[in-house]
C-alpha cells in the first residue's frame, strides 16, 4: 500500500498484470514481501514523476517469476554488475536525499538466495530498468 500511495503521489502509472494463477512457493512470506517492496520502491524512487512501473508475474515448469519494469533513469552499463553489492549506490546524491543506504538490493539478493531463487537485471528495451525475481515452485510431496 505504501508503494501504491507513493506512486500515486508522484503521478506514476503502476500496472500489475499477473498470470491467471501462479503455482505455490515455499518461503518466509514477510521476507519475500520485503524483497518485492524494495524492488518496486526503487522503481518508484528512480522514475521521474509521471512515469510507468509495470509488474508482471508468471511461471515456468519449475519456477515463478516477477518482473518490475520502469521507464526511469536506468542503470549505467558500468554500474550494472555492482547494484547488488552492499552499500553500492548508482546515484549517490539522490540516494542521500531519499535516505538510501545502498543495502536494499544486497539484502534482497541474500533473502532470495536463501529461498534458492535469483534476482537480477533482465534485458530491457529503452530507458529504465527491469529487475527479475525468480523463485522455485514448491515440490509436491508424494506418499512413500
Break the chain into its structural domains and give their ranges: 2-136
Stretch 6-25: mean pLDDT: 88
Least confident of 12-21, 68-77, 123-132: 12-21
Rounded CA separation 26/91 (Å): 35
| Beta pairing partners, 17 | 56
Q: How many CB atoms lie within 10 A of CB 71?
A: 20
- pLDDT value of residue 89: 62
Query: Distance between CA 104 and CA 63 in Å, rounded?
Result: 23
Looking at the predicted structure, is the pLDDT value of residue 98 above 60? no
pLDDT > 90? residue 83: no
pLDDT above 80 (res 53): yes
Q: What is the pLDDT of residue 18?
A: 78
Average pLDDT of the residues in 80-97: 65
Mean pLDDT value across the chain? 86
Indicate the range of 1-10, 57-66, 100-109, 123-132 predicted with least confidence: 100-109
The grid coordinates listed for 18 are 499477473
The pTM for the full model equals 0.84
H runs (alpha helix) in the chain: 2-9, 29-45, 92-97, 104-114
Q: Is the pLDDT at 27 greater than 60, yes or no?
A: yes
**CATH C-level class of 2-136:** alpha beta
Q: How large a percentage of the chain has pLDDT more than 70? A: 85
Amino acid at each position: 500500500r505504501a508503494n501504491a500511495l507513493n506512486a500515486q503521489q508522484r503521478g506514476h502509472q503502476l500496472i500489475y498484470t499477473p498470470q491467471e494463477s501462479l503455482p505455490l512457493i515455499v518461503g518466509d512470506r514477510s521476507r519475500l514481501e520485503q524483497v518485492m517492496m524494495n524492488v518496486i520502491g526503487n522503481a518508484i524512487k528512480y522514475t521521474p514523476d509521471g512515469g510507468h512501473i509495470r509488474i508482471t508475474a508468471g511461471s515456468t515448469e519449475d519456477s515463478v517469476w516477477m518482473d518490475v519494469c520502469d521507464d526511469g533513469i536506468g542503470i549505467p552499463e558500468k554500474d550494472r554488475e555492482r547494484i547488488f553489492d552492499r552499500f553500492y549506490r548508482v546515484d549517490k546524491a539522490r540516494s542521500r536525499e531519499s535516505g538510501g543506504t545502498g543495502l536494499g538490493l544486497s539484502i534482497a539478493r541474500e533473502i532470495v538466495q536463501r529461498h534458492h531463487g535469483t534476482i537480477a537485471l533482465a534485458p530491457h528495451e529503452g530507458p529504465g530498468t527491469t529487475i527479475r525475481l525468480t523463485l522455485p515452485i514448491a515440490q509436491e510431496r508424494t506418499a512413500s
